[in-house]
């Protein structure tokens, strides 16, 4: 007895079981095999603090679709997984846990704190991996890596020392993003810009030596005035040309500062005069570099005013702002205050407004390193899908600034720089070469730099560090460069650019040849999902309710590279309904197959419908392969969805049912039908598999118990011998006839179970022969009690309903469709109802009071109703006349 599918599709019964089977059988595992062509995707490493969200679900579903497709095509497909240590996110979590115990990280000390961090990683770090498995991710978990494992840490040290020795890494005083609460520098990726209601304070700066003459500036951060070292004007601004080179008296401080000319200043914005605070603004810093201005930092690490702030020292930045504005007003230097909404950078972890601050940090000099990354786009070694994102990539590279890579954290890769506490000498070296004594003064008092590296520093090496670099491994030689990177458009600069320049700097190659960019998953109102809005949807909740396949199908349906998508629960239900359709159709086919072995029919035994569906699945394989190769995954899945639901289930299965029911009397046609059903279903399941892996595996292995797994089956290829254009065209014509009959029956409100005689008048004898030969295929579909095919109108009553089609006219005797008395009664009732509605609507529209007082939209609504009622009345009267 062959295995059977359950009566109803229940994803909970199959998904965990099948995933366990795949893992046990090592289907995801890839090893070097020189007889096969490699195909590699490196997984963007989720944070160990992370929990699966819709962005992860989309990103990993797209990767899984590609890797399953390539695996079925015969590639040695490696999907390299792993997790990121997420320095700041993890440290914040551990600090919060310590707070519950009444401890700080300083109470523990660095060593004990790091022990806690590793314990935390062991306890929670695997959570997101188990969640990725729930959506069917077929990554090679045997190769799972971690950005702080031994191999990745070795790569990080190698790169740091190499770039330092080559002069690309340096320590300097430059502007960085500073979080006053976490007290660390943070990357641009961790800064969220939000629109805040603020003020524009207009302040007069006295011109030195010119009593009563001032320069008016406008600022959103008056507290930074304490660190001003110049005021800048545009050199082309006629209003201020005479001021260039003069000195101003800095209000509240009394220090003299110069007026400098710089094209950075927008003449049209504000007053055209800009206060320059090089230590607290990235643009001002650049101006300061050009004019050799001093850096005066006025803030402590906790954003209180430091010793450079005079009487405001020790005040919180906002407390100081309030006092300074009051003092400026008292001195008559506050001109006015305007409301001003502007974008303010906040730390995505704690929500604190970040401070741009010039601090001594470690940087990577980017200008030279960025050049090969630009060239990669120009020479085609790297391409974006969609292509327009290469402009975004190039724009960021053109404006690239030196990268701050140090963080004031304990969790992460500690910077491999060592200092002599006696003479201050610095040595940069790998751990195994760490100095025991100072090479300059021979002191034994050596300490390592307490800072750690930006998380992006290690993840920039991810495509090659995970494959064994800096060692020359077989994996690296075979699987690298990788083929595709799948990621969101929001981290092109933060991650993609850094991986590309790192790939060229350390391997001489681009780390991947294609970057597939996807959009964000938004809520049903088009809003970004966020904790603050409370509109996030948990993918695990969707899986629990509808199954992983339904979630995956929802995420990829209609998905176009680079475009955002909206999440609707109704779409998940539609996806689940499709899964039910596939399940029930497969179950019907298997029930009819029974235990008998079907044999390959001769070409002569195949009917027109058989050839049509074979031609359809053949064309589908060709088109889907083209779509998949162009990364048009949304288009590909729509094609297989439409084919299975419409062509296969709603048409072909219905067409062949009469042959299946006559299996005993006519075994040869039934065998052909069953062979086609089994063949087309198995090929369609393969084409659907990358998108819906669980249900396709369960059905495929039940349909073909001799097959081990659909995962390792061959992707369907186009067959020349299955190209049946003539038969395909004939069935399309039949389908159009059936659709036309159904549409006319719907228009006339004919119950679905009421059968009627159908007379087809063909345009010529050949068409009549075709329609006659195939009528058993479409009689039931057309709800026909009988079908008569002829070439003239002989015996057709003038009252018969006519339907004009491409190569024929179809007639249905009216009395076959309609119970005249009942229909007349129904139409008379409808006419009476419409008469009342028309009278009411016309009455309202002739009422001057209504027309003058009602809103314009309400009047238009009534006019639209009147037009609709008049049209319906015409139809009712026409039908009554026909009766």
Residue 235 DSSP SS3: coil
The span from the CA of 799 to the CA of 322, in Å, is 90
HEC letters along 293-343: CCCCCCECCCCEECHHHHHHCCCEHHHHHHHHHHHHHHCCCEEEEEEEEEE
* 535 touches 556 (CB < 8 A): no
Say whether 531 counts as a known binding-site residue.
Answer: yes
Task: Tell me how far CA of residue 212 lies from CA of 204, 206, 207, 215, 324, in angstroms.
Answer: 10, 7, 8, 10, 21
β-strand partners of 375: none
Helix boundaries (H) for 2-101 = 11-24, 54-72, 87-100
* Distance separating alpha carbons of residues 782 and 729, to the nearest angstrom: 19
Which residues 6+ apart lie within 8 Å of 204 measured at CB?
214, 215, 216, 251, 332, 333, 334, 335
Peptide bond into 481 cis (omega under 30): yes
C-alpha to C-alpha distance for 171 and 744, rounded to whole angstroms? 80
- Which one, of 756, 140, 50, lies nearest residue 467 by Cα? 140
Please, are residues 348 and 217 in contact by the beta-carbon 8 Å criterion? Answer: no
Structure tokens given for 129: 């991996």
Q: Distance between CA atoms of 494 and 190, rounded to whole angstroms? A: 10
Question: 231: exposed, middle or buried (C-beta count within 10 Å: 0-12, 13-18, 19+)?
Answer: buried
Closest alpha carbon to 137 in 693, 670, 514, 577: 693
Residue 29 φ/ψ, nearest 5 degrees: -80, 135
Q: Name the 3-class secondary structure at 648.
A: helix
- Rounded CA separation 613/677 (Å): 9
Binding site residues for ATP, as ranges? Answer: 531
Binding site residues, as ranges? Answer: 531
């Amino acid at each position: 007895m062959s295995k059977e599918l359950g009566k109803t599709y229940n994803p909970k019964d199959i998904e965990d079981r099948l995933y366990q089977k795949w893992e046990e059988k090592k289907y995801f595992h890839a090893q070097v095999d020189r007889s096969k062509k490699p195909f590699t995707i490196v997984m963007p490493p989720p944070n160990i603090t992370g929990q699966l969200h819709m962005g992860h679900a989309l990103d990993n579903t797209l990767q899984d679709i590609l890797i399953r497709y390539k695996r079925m095509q015969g590639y040695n497909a490696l999907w390299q997984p792993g997790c990121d240590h997420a320095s700041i996110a993890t440290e914040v979590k551990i600090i919060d846990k310590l707070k519950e115990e009444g401890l700080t990280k300083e109470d523990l000390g660095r060593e004990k704190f790091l022990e806690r961090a590793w314990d935390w990683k062991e306890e929670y770090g695997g959570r997101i991996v188990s969640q990725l498995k729930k959506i069917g991710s077929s990554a090679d978990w045997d190769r799972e890596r971690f950005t702080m494992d031994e191999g990745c840490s070795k790569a990080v040290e190698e790169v740091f020392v190499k770039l330092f020795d080559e002069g690309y890494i340096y320590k300097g005083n430059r502007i960085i993003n500073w979080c006053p609460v976490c007290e660390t520098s943070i990357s641009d990726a961790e800064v969220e810009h939000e629109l805040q209601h603020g003020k524009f304070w207009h302040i007069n700066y006295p011109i030195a030596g010119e009593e009563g003459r001032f320069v008016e500036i406008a600022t959103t951060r008056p507290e930074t005035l304490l660190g001003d070292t110049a005021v800048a004007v545009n050199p082309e601004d006629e209003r201020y040309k005479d001021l260039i080179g003069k000195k101003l008296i800095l209000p509240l401080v009394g220090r003299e500062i110069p007026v400098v000319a710089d094209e950075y200043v927008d003449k049209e914005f504000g007053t055209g005069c800009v206060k320059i605070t090089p230590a607290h603004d990235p643009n001002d810093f650049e101006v300061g570099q050009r004019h050799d201005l001093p850096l005066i930092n006025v803030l402590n690490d906790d954003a209180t005013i430091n010793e450079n702030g005079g009487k405001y020292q020790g005040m919180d930045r906002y407390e100081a702002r309030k006092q300074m504005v009051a003092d400026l007003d008292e001195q008559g230097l506050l001109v006015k205050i305007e409301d001003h909404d502007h974008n303010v950078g906040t730390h995505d972890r704690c929500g604190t407004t970040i401070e741009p601050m010039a601090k001594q940090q470690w940087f990577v000099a980017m200008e030279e390193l960025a050049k090969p990354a630009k060239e990669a786009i120009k020479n085609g070694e790297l391409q974006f899908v969609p292509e327009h994102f290469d402009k975004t990539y190039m724009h960021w590279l053109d404006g690239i600034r030196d990268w701050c890579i140090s963080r004031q954290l304990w969790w992460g890769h500690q910077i491999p720089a060592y200092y002599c506490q006696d003479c201050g000498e610095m040595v940069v070296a790998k751990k195994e070469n760490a100095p025991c004594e100072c090479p300059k003064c021979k002191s034994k008092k050596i300490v390592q730099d307490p800072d750690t590296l930006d998380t992006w520093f290690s993840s920039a090496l991810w495509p090659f560090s995970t494959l064994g670099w800096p060692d020359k491994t077989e994996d690296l030689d075979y699987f690298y460069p990788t083929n595709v990177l799948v990621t969101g458009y929001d981290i092109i600069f933060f991650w993609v650019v850094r991986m590309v320049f790192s790939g060229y700097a350390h391997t001489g190659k681009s780390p991947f040849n294609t970057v597939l960019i996807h959009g964000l998953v938004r809520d049903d109102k088009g809003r970004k999902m966020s904790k603050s809005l409370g509109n996030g949807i948990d993918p695990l909740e969707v899986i629990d309710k509808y199954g992983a396949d339904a979630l995956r199908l929802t995420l990829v349906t209609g998905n176009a590279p680079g475009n955002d998508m909206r999440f609707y629960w109704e779409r998940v239900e539609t996806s689940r309904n499709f899964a039910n359709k596939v399940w029930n159709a497969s179950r019907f086919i298997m029930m009819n197959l029974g235990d008998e072995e079907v044999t390959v029919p001769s070409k002569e035994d195949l009917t027109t419908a058989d050839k049509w569906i074979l031609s359809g699945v053949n064309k589908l394989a060709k088109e889907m392969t083209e779509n998949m190769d162009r990364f048009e995954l949304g288009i590909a899945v729509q094609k297989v969805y439409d084919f299975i639901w419409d062509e296969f289930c709603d048409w072909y299965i219905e067409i062949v049912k009469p042959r299946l029911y006559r299996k005993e009397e006519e075994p040869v046609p039934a065998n052909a039908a069953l062979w086609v059903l089994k063949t087309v279903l198995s090929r369609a399941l393969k084409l659907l598999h990358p998108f819906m892996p669980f249900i396709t595996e369960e059905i495929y292995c039940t349909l073909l118990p001799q097959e081990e797994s659909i995962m390792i089956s061959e992707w369907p290829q186009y067959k020349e011998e299955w190209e049946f254009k003539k038969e395909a065209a004939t069935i399309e014509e039949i389908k159009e006839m059936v659709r036309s009959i159904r549409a006319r029956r719907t228009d006339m409100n004919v119950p679905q179970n009421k059968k009627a005689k159908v007379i087809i008048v063909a345009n010529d004898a050949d068409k009549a022969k075709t329609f006659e030969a195939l009528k058993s295929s479409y009689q039931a579909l057309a709800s026909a009690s009988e079908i008569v095919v002829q070439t003239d109108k002989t015996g057709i009553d003038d009252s018969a309903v006519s339907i004009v089609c491409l190569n024929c006219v179809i007639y249905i005797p009216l009395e076959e469709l309609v119970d005249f008395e009942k229909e007349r009664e129904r139409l008379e009732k409808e006419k009476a109802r419409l008469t009342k509605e028309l009278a009411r609507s016309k009455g309202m529209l002739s009422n001057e009071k209504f027309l003058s007082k009602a809103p314009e939209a309400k009047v238009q609504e009534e006019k639209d109703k009147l037009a609709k009622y008049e049209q319906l009345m015409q139809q009712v009267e026409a039908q009554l006349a026909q009766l």
